Structure 1
Amino acid sequence: MIEIIWEDDQLNRRQDAEFLQKFLIGRIKERENRGLHRSYVLNLDAGWGRGKTFFILRLAKQLRYFGYVVVEVDAWKDDHADDPMLPVISAIDTEISKFVQIEGEKTNRWEGVVRKGSYIALSVAKGAGMHWLRKFIGEGADELKNLVTDINLSETAKAAAKPVEDAIESSANEFLQVFRSRRSVIEEFKSSFSLFMKDNDCFTAKLPLFIVIDELDRCRPTFSISMLERIKHIFDVDGCVFIVSTNTDQLQKSIKAVYGDSFDSESYLSRFFDRTYRFKEPIIENFVKSLVTQYGVDANRFRIPPGYTLDNYISSGLVFYGLGLRDAAQCIDIIRSFVTIWDEDLKIELSVLLPLAISGQQGKLATPLPKVPDILTEIRNKNGSHTSEWTINFYNEKSNGDSLFRSFLGFLGKAPSESLNTNYARTHQNEWIREYLINEHNYLVQRRGRQEVKVARAWYYWDRIRNIGNVT
């Protein structure tokens, strides 16, 4: 079963999952043995394209396989709510309800926990938060009154004919004052939640309870901050482990957008997490393969030099020119966009597209096409791995991807009859190029019904990449 969960793991994240499971469960046991509160908040920090969501989804499956309850919260999907507490309570309720013994008194105990949590959220929720309040209190003011019977809402009760939104809005100040004056309700919520989970007669699953939150860095800054505040001050429940997936650098920028550039967002964030776990940088070949698979880039759309697949030709070229993972991700996105707008039946020549994509990604979009080989030389001299040869074997002849691209430019941009009849060295590499030109010429003549088609093939690729560069 574990093998099936991780069967499409291109970045070897299974090792990270196995380590984190042992670490978190071990840390909870250590705290229990020392008589400490058994709660923990882990920040899973990884940049864009590093497979955070892939990892979180499969880690959740793995933990469930070992008998733990896992609550999954997609913070980005719940970003429309004014306050994140009710979305989290809703997700917890959905999962825990599956393990509650179906008996009146025991079910009522869990419903009491939910009501306490909803009661807290009610103090700050309004506007978009009504979507979540309705899950627990329905549409009518009578249900609202029953939920918070210990609050004097005489004026609200009189407004029962009004929508709940109007009733909440008209009493917002009263709710806030009650919330401030009765902070003990938070401790009651935490205590009743923890006691319920410890009672094996009520809750039949293993502890700790895992709550994983994904996509927090994509949310509104105020929502992200509120989520962290709720985890710290309200969901700090004995027996709960939070795993919060973030791009911490991006999240720090979001916090500065609220508090100002001079605000120490790094220190601010650190107080919410017990520890931060960072993925190792993946091997670029695995990273490229992961992105190609994730984006669904179809290798059949390309003409690929002999001895290579789509992903390892791309990764070999990226290593040759010395591009890192962030640059690699952007290059693959350019290639992906190029495929999207390619409306020809003819296959895309990868040996032409990749070097142009790299040049474009490196900010050289204004470079005239004939100067691109010089630009690529500069990129390689500055960043490149000079132990990488990017070798291509054309039968018994050796070449490399850079040389193949330069040779292609010698043919491209001419009218087909000119390029096909040019005297050229009869090498296997040139035959490979000529085969493409013949196929393209025949395709275009058939497609456009003309005997002479000036294609200027390389600038067609370059022009499209420049257009893609205008898409932000």
Structure 2
Amino acid sequence: MNWEDDKLDRKAEAEYLVKYINRKYEASDATSLSINLNAEWGQGKTFFLRNLRRDLSEQGYPTVYYDAWRNDFSNEALVSFISEISDELAKALDANPKIKEKIHTFKEKGKQIIKSSVPILLSALVKHLLRTDDLSGLIPEDEDKPDSNQSDSTSDFSDTVSKLTTSAATSMLEQHKESQKSIGEFTEALKELVKELGKGDGKLKDKKLPIYILVDELDRCRPTFAIELLEAIKHLFGVHGVVFLVATNTSELQASVKAVYGGEFSAKAYLRRFFDIEYSFRKPSRKEFCRQVISDIEFGDNVNSYEPNGQDDFESILDMFWRFCDYFNLGLRDIEQLSISLEACIYTAEDKVELPLLLFLLILKQQEFGDYYERFKQQGGKLVLENFFKENSFNNTIFLQTKERYHKAHTYHNSKIAIKDVLSVYFHNLGRANGDNFFFSSSSFSIQERIVENLRSELMRSNSKDRNKRLIFYKYFEMVQHAGQFSEID
């Protein structure tokens, strides 16, 4: 099923984008259309392209999905690009002999395009200076070779350079002419393929134009590979009836360009040469993104989340997770890292974990709030917590949702409680060895009552020999320390 688990509502954006592209294709006879799909890391670019490919294929549009990063092992970006496009088009258009012939011609013309290599002059000069190789093979037979008995090495070197320069210049001019001819033939072969496809004859009657080529993970590639691929798209595939959708994190792609051309180079202006327009994905809300990153974690019954419905189900856990992320104003990368660490803790915990306490310690460790993590670990208690909130400001408009129970009554109504007040229940009781002496500041909130009850029960369950006033907190610092060693791969 297409677009299953579409947590960021990308299907609606795909439908809108395809409608725009098809109308633009019908309304204009311009050359190919290249669109940069811009989105930050973690916003579903790969999910979008893979589902879009299935949709387009089902609608009859010849579609190619090219994973640039998967082909980055190749030293020749163009070789892998043309090869994969040819193979994918052959699968998508498995029809009459004419189409197969056009695809074959397209592929063969691509092979003829001569790639630029390291200049022969540079290679030769290095070898000569290091005396590592004989230069005679690099000079045409009709050129006078340097006198091997010549005593003046400077004169010998100058003579060699002069002859090599002439040879290299001639070779490069001939190569350029041949390349231009091959490029023209390649482009013409692509036009013929599009023209044949547009006829809609026989088995092709259900096929439509334009051809969609979806390029993914370009910003993760080596800078030279990424630039070579962009150059190919611009100069080789400029044919009406071909649409490129290139998904990138544009800021990362700009960094790749700067890595090749230098930090002062205007990467933004350079990239404008390759794309006709840019489409930026709608940024997900923090809650949407939180749902995406923790949806695959199997929480089971290993969590005390203290949510209003009194059940530690996924929605309750999600609600607390995103409220903590909102409160501490975490970015998308920070949220992803937090989800990885949380998963590690949940999967390795021997008992139910106190979600508010665990999230706080994970965020504290991850965000490096000075030395507060170590201070909590070594000292703990009310004073450290109060100083922490005095020295740091957070989003105080964010509250945890709970149910308030009036004292000595059994009626409840929905209410809210500040995150720092929930945390205070843990840290105010950190120094209390006897569970009977546990307390909380306000008796009207059931969330605090339940936390205290769980803390007391856990302390009572511990072996009498091991019981001490901070036993239940030690395991959290240990879990957080281990979990912090995991991280996402960029």
Q: TM-score range by the shorter chain?
A: 0.7 to 0.9
TM-aligned CA distance change 1:351 to 1:99, over 3 Å: closer
TM-score (norm 1): 0.77
Aligned-pair CA distance for 1:317: 2.1
For these two proteins, the number of residue pairs brought into alignment is 407
- Aligned pairs for 1:288-327 (under 5 A) are 288-293=290-295, 296=297, 298=299, 300-307=301-308, 309-327=316-334
Contact kept, 8 Å, 2:62 with 2:93, in 1: the verdict is: no
Offset from partner CA, 1:39-94 (integer Å, 9 cap, x none): 11110111111111111212222222322121111111111011222222232223
Residue 364 of structure 2: which of 359, 378, 387 is its match?
A: 359
SS in 2 for 1:212: strand
Task: Quote the Cα distance in structure 2 between the aligned partners of 1:54 and 1:443.
Answer: 46
Give the deviation of 1:331 after TM superposition.
Answer: 3.0
The alpha carbon displacement at 1:223 in A equals 0.9
The aligned amino acid for 1:14 is K
Q: TM-score, normalised by structure 2?
A: 0.74
Change (3 A) 1:74 1:401: same
Whole-Å Cα distance in 2 between the matches of residues 94 and 377 of structure 1? 62
User: Does the 8 Å contact 1:43/1:275 carry over to 2?
Assistant: yes
Go from structure 1 to structure 2 and tell me whether the alpha carbon gap of 1:202 and 1:90 turns closer, same or farther (over 3 Å shift). farther
**Matched residue SS, 2:215:** strand
**Alignment check: 8 A CA contact 2:95 2:203 kept:** no
Q: Structure 2 matches for 1:255-274, cutoff 5 A?
A: 255-274=257-276
Q: 1:175 to 1:67 in 2, by over 3 A?
A: farther
1:420 paired residue among 423, 435, 444: 435
* Aligned equivalent of 1:349: 354
- Paired with 1:97 and 1:315, the residues of 2 have a C-alpha distance of 46
Amino acid at match of 1:24: I
How far has the Cα of 1:214 moved from its partner? 0.9
Q: 2:88 aligns with which of 95, 100, 108?
A: 95
Q: Which residue of 1 aligns with 2:134?
A: none
- C-alpha distance in 2 between matches for 1:118 and 1:373: 69
Counterpart selection for 1:452 from 435, 459, 467:
467
State the one-letter code of the partner of 1:282: P
What's the CA shift string for 1:4-26, capped at 9, x where partnerless?
42341111222211111111112
Task: Report what 1:161 is aligned to.
Answer: none
The verdict on how the C-alpha distance between 1:104 and 1:326 changes in structure 2, with shifts beyond 3 A counting, is closer
The Cα of 1:389 is off from its aligned counterpart by: 2.4
Instruction: Read off the aligned partner of 2:476 and give its amino acid letter.
Output: Y
TM superposition shift of 1:301: 3.5
Secondary structure in 2 matching 1:244: strand
The letter of the residue matching 2:304 is: R
Contact 1:74 1:215 in 2 (8 A): yes
**Corresponding position of 1:112:** 105
Deviation at 1:240, TM superposition (A): 0.9
Shift of 1:220: 0.8
Where do 5+ consecutive residues of structure 1 fail to align?
Answer: 127-171
Contact (CA 8 Å) 2:37, 2:278: kept in 1 or not? yes
Q: Name whichever of 347-356 and 405-414 sits farther off.
A: 405-414
1:78 aligns with 2:71: yes
Q: What SS does the corresponding residue of 2:335 show, helix, strand or coil?
A: helix
In 2 relative to 1, CA 112–402 (structure 1 residues): closer, same or farther, beyond 3 Å? same
Superposition CA RMSD, Å: 3.1
CA offset at residue 206 of structure 1?
Answer: 1.0
Range that drifts further, 173-182 or 41-50: 173-182
Query: Aligned AA for 1:41?
Result: S
Structure 1 counterpart of 2:48? 55
Tell me the distance in 1 between the aligned counterparts of 2:220 and 2:418. Answer: 41
Q: 1:211 aligns with which of 206, 210, 213?
A: 213
- Give deviations 1:102-135, integer Å, cap 9, x for gaps: 5555523321211111222x64599xxxxxxxxx
